[in-house]
Amino acid sequence: MLVDLGHLGLDEGAHIIVKHAIEQLEPGAALDICGTHAELRVHLRAWGRARGHGYEDRDADGAVARLTRGTAAGAARRNSEPAGHASPAVAGAVVDRPPGHWGVAPRGAQVELGGPDPFFPLDDKAHVWADEAPRLYAQAAANQWDPATAIEWATPLVNDELVETAVIQVMTYLIENEVAALVVPARFIAQVHSHFREVMQLLSIQVADEARHIEAFTRRAMLSGRPLGLSTVGGRQSLQTLIDEPDFAISAFLLSVLGEGTFLSLLSFLETHAPDPTTRRVAQLALQDEARHVAFGIAHLRVQLDAEPDLRARLVAAVERRHDALAQTGGLNDEVYDALVLLPQVHLIPLQSPQAGTACKGSRTTWTSVAAAVSRALASPLRRPRRSPLSTPATSCRAPASVSAGRSRPFLCYSMRIYAHPITQERFAGQGLHRGRS
């Protein structure tokens, strides 16, 4: 075979032509080269020697040099194996137990044998994969929002001090929960074999989602210039049990199914009932992200339970273990519970105001469902919903409401009952105030 390089030198890319030609030959076969580059022979000798090809000068049949193909060329490809298929839609694309020596090679690549053999704790498809992972990752990537522009931060805040303090308290609670929700998947990302790239990607974008939520909740909390609220020991102990859970399946269940599932209720409540549009918008954006996290958690759990029926018992044990660990704590933040009650209110109005006194009509069902949502929003699997006159269906609005208006009516009844209850009467004693919406 003869290759004519013309004036092109090996320092200008001609080696690609030579390489392509010689790799089509069998070991021991000859490749003649002709060309006019001044250093062609010098460079061909060096290039050939480095690749295990024989070299000799030529001056016949137009050739200036001859390379004899060695045995080393192509060794990497000869000694390689396929690592599944890049597209998860192809049958057999995702293998059950990818070997460690595939390392960070992309799924679908031809992997040269040899090299590092890292240990991936999460290398079993049955424990890691969910078929929804590719779709959920694509959805997440397409729905990343910018906290700086997706929220109208310049919208004036008109919350009175009590309500704004309540918003800040809720934001404080949300921030620490999102920190835990960031840390937990972050711990597992590096443990997942990169063969399951969509799971790795999904966990990574989940971490990015939570970072964005931390930023947005913090910014909302700081909007009025007041300090952040109370972070309780009980709350942090609860979150620490999530962070300390070493098993991926149990962690995904506790965080993404139970924890973030609960968060969906809370954020939905805030999206609807927060007192100002900025808070409602922040909650709305976080809600759409958390819904994806829960979707993966549930999809993953479904696969796990199919593969390992005994997992159910381990999940129960994990919940009970968490309960025991938190049994001696003071529970979740009372300030947060109270803040959620205060959030829908706009301002306090005097009890003697002519605006008080409108009858409350037919609001019991709506009030009950909303009050129950408040309780559910913070109910952990370990605690019963709070039992108080404020949150049971038995409580109804018998006292005259202040001003009636659309969706605010249920909360007016709620607030009236709060004022009427002996505990809250004590709390608001001396204020002579009655809360409602004008």
Give the nearest distance from C-beta 3 to other proteins in angstroms.
17
Q: Which is nearer to other proteins, 26 or 310 (CB)?
A: 26
Q: Which is nearer to other proteins, 75 or 423 (CB)?
A: 75
Q: Which is nearer to other proteins, 18 or 249 (CB)?
A: 18
Give the nearest distance from C-beta 55 to other proteins in angstroms.
9
Give the nearest distance from C-beta 60 to other proteins in angstroms.
21
Contact positions vs other proteins (CB under 8 A)? 9-12, 15, 38-39, 42-43, 45-47, 49-52, 70-72, 75-76, 78-79, 112-115
d(CA 235, CA 335) in angstroms, rounded, equals 11
Q: Which is nearer to other proteins, 50 or 429 (CB)?
A: 50
Give the nearest distance from C-beta 75 to other proteins in angstroms.
5
Cβ-based burial of 159 (10 A; exposed 0-12, middle 13-18, buried ≥19): buried
Give the nearest distance from C-beta 47 to other proteins in angstroms.
6
Q: Which is nearer to other proteins, 9 or 98 (CB)?
A: 9
Q: Which is nearer to other proteins, 45 or 323 (CB)?
A: 45
Give the nearest distance from C-beta 112 to other proteins in angstroms.
7
> Which residues, 6+ apart, have CB-to-CB distance to 213 below 8 Å?
174, 178, 181, 286, 289
Give the nearest distance from C-beta 14 to other proteins in angstroms.
10
Residue 364 has, within 13 A of its CA and on its CB side, a CA count of 9
Q: Which is nearer to other proteins, 75 or 138 (CB)?
A: 75
Neighbours of 101 (CB within 10 A): 16
Give the nearest distance from C-beta 203 to other proteins in angstroms.
31
Q: Which is nearer to other proteins, 79 or 240 (CB)?
A: 79
Amino acid making up residue 380: S
Residue 259 has, within 13 A of its CA and on its CB side, a CA count of 27
Q: How far is CA 87 from the centre of its chain?
A: 23
